[in-house]
Amino acid sequence: MKWTNAIRSGLKIPMSTIEYFGIEAIIGGGLCWAVFLLILLIDILL
């Protein structure tokens, strides 16, 4: 909690914005990896 407060005060960015973009990045990255691995798996099996 101390680190997030330091980052927030240092960057002057609302925590909700950081959390929003962080969640979006995680979801986006996860979907990209899921599709990539699925294609790779199908390619190996076929």
Structure letter (DSSP) for residue 13:
-
Q: Are 8 and 15 in contact (CB under 8 A)?
A: yes
Rounded CA-CA distance 8/28 in Å is 24
Task: Give pLDDT, residue 29.
Answer: 79
- pLDDT tens for each residue of 3-30: 666 666 666 656 666 677 777 777 777 8
The alpha carbons of the chain give a radius of gyration, in whole angstroms, of 17
Q: Are 4 and 15 in contact (CB under 8 A)?
A: yes
Rounded to two decimals, what is the model's pTM?
Answer: 0.42
**Structural domain that includes position 26:** 2-45
Domain count, the chain: 1
